[in-house]
Amino acid sequence: KDKQAYTSAVFYTWTMTTRKNPFTATLGATPPYLAGRKDSIEEFAYALDDGPGSHERISLVVGPRGIGKTVLLNAFEDTASDRGWRILNDTASAGFAERLRAEIINTLHLNRAALKGFNLHLFQLGIGMEWDSRTLSAETYPLRRALKDLLHAQRELDRISHSEPTGVLITLDEMHHQRSDEVIDFGATIQHLVREGENIAVVMAGIPSSIKPLLASQDDSNPVTFLRRANRIELDRVPDTDVRKALNAPVEETEVNWDKDALNSAVTACQGYPFMIQLVGLWAFRHRTDNTISVEAAQEGISKARRKLGQLVHEPALAELSPIDRTFLLHMAQDNGPSSMSDITARLGKSSQYASNYRRRLLDSELIEIPASGQVDFALPYLRDYLREHAASLVIDSY
């Protein structure tokens, strides 16, 4: 009996220590439960089903770090993939259009046997079985022609297999105004394909400060019109009901339970911020006792989640700001709640117009928001606390 009890205890301990954590606290990783994005995913699915010309087929996802932009791109890719669409994804860093072109060329060439007899521009160039995609210049075989070939091949394969018509989805993360020339060329290519009725869909994502300069022109002088005409998805915090589901549903599958008060504390601490949900869940699960996430485990998880949020979200967001931007935020951090613009102006020792200029910059970056007339407050959870804790180093960096 003693041996049996010992064996059971060892097995129970092994099970508890090796149980997989259901939370994925990595920026861009798809969580086990996607909170608060159901409507956007459903609208995109309808657009794919409705055919060429549907507005949501060209979408722009905008929001601050950690709000779930990349996760939503992943969900859109899954939605298209489930329908048999071909997926091309990349980060919109320098050279993204050329990388997409090279990927299409390689895809078509590797599937040359299956595509034999198809009237593709690529095969009319006389390339052999041994070749290098770099020998095909963008002038000889531009991205537009490559995409036309890929779409044509997809259409023919659908016809042969008697499948429903599918197409090509391109997702681009981390869009930035500093690459506007490449974005303009890419946009012109997509506009041509849309006008030609091709089964093409494009979803792009970026933080507000990187996207808004691309949308700045209000007349036809701005050639990035496809961005301004795109379906805009501005991500915000999710409701507490969805936060609760996102924290509770994953642990139920592991036969672990939240203490009621612990779950309430965790929901409140997340403040509707998707990345914080994963951070709190991850650390609270690690500190559980037996099969229960206690109040103590939740508090420990919240504490560690806040530190990780500072490292992964607040620190890089502040690094992109000017010294005056950071000074403005440090003056805001002196208040326990929303700050009066008159107080911020006085602390800066500058004119109201000067303070308003920097308020606008920080609003565009979505680091602050306006809760009431004449007031400003932090848009990111726990940014006030982070600024207070790192005030000394931030002041040194600002001067």
- The tens digit of pLDDT for each residue in 309-340 reads 999 999 999 998 999 999 999 999 999 999 99
Position 16 scores a pLDDT of 46
pLDDT exceeds cutoff 80 at 12: no
CB atoms closer than 10 angstroms to residue 295: 17
Position 14 scores a pLDDT of 40
Position 9 scores a pLDDT of 46
Position 87 scores a pLDDT of 97
Mean pLDDT of the chain: 87
CB atoms closer than 10 angstroms to residue 55: 12
Q: Is 368 exposed, middle or buried (0-12, 13-18, 19+ CB in 10 A)?
A: buried
- The tens digit of pLDDT for each residue in 354-397 reads 999 999 999 988 899 999 999 999 999 999 999 999 986 766 45
- The tens digit of pLDDT for each residue in 112-158 reads 777 877 878 877 775 554 555 556 778 888 999 999 999 999 998 88
pLDDT band at 10 (very low <50, low <70, confident <90, very high): very low
Residue 385's Cβ-side half-sphere holds a number of Cα atoms within 13 Å equal to 10
